[in-house]
Amino acid sequence: MNLPTELKQALNAQIGMEFQASYSYLSMAAYFEANSWDGFASWMSMQSDEEREHAMKFYTYLLDRGADIELPALEAPVHQFSSPLAVFESSLEQEKKVTAAINNLYKIAHDSADYATVSFLKWFVDEQVEEEKNVSDMIEKIKRAGENPDALMMLDTLAGNRGPEEE
Ligand code: FEO
């Protein structure tokens, strides 16, 4: 079964959204690197790689379904932040937008009775719960650390110990 046009367009748009997220996380990694937060930089760099993997899952799926790839334009990401907390808050905002986009994709696939896409999207629905949780946890920890430099340094070290995600 060919992909319905609306679904094809939305899946192509999602490739762009995932690459945009990857680009944003890379910019956040650069901010942390430039300000000697090596652990946070590593966390963000790993997240940037993950987002590229997400984009490529959509890319491969579209090709597997015989659909054309139409990569959308990307925007320049924000590159200046006021604090580590501001970076993670910006990250959470971004993840919430991605979650809304995935839910919308799921709805389109379901309404189109394209159950192969519904099945494909289930991984992303679960992944977004994890992504929002990881960022929210970090925000809570940074808030708890407050202005205490030792506590923030410990969090930075902790963030640097993040391992690759298991699938
Ligand atoms: Fe691929 Fe963080 O959403």
For the stretch 9-40, pLDDT in tens is: 999 999 999 999 999 999 999 999 999 999 99
* 53 Cβ neighbours under 8 A, 6+ residues apart: none
When pLDDT is cut at 50, 70 and 90, the band that residue 165 belongs to is: low
What pLDDT score was predicted for residue 52?
98
Beta carbon of 95 within 6 Å of any ligand 1 atom: yes
* Per-residue pLDDT tens digits for 75-106: 999 999 999 999 999 999 999 999 999 999 99
- Cα–ligand 1 centroid distance for 90 (angstroms): 13
Beta carbon of 102 within 6 Å of any ligand 1 atom: no
Q: Does residue 157 register a pLDDT over 90?
A: yes
For residues 102 and 2, which has the higher predicted lDDT (pLDDT)? 102
Q: Which fold has domain 5-161?
A: Ferritin (1.20.1260)
Nearest residue (CA) to ligand 1, atom 1? 51
Indicate the domain borders of the chain: 5-161
- Cα–ligand 1 centroid distance for 75 (angstroms): 16
**How far is 154 from 146, CA to CA, in rounded Å?**
12
- Cα–ligand 1 centroid distance for 20 (angstroms): 10
Q: Are 118 and 108 in contact (CB under 8 A)?
A: no
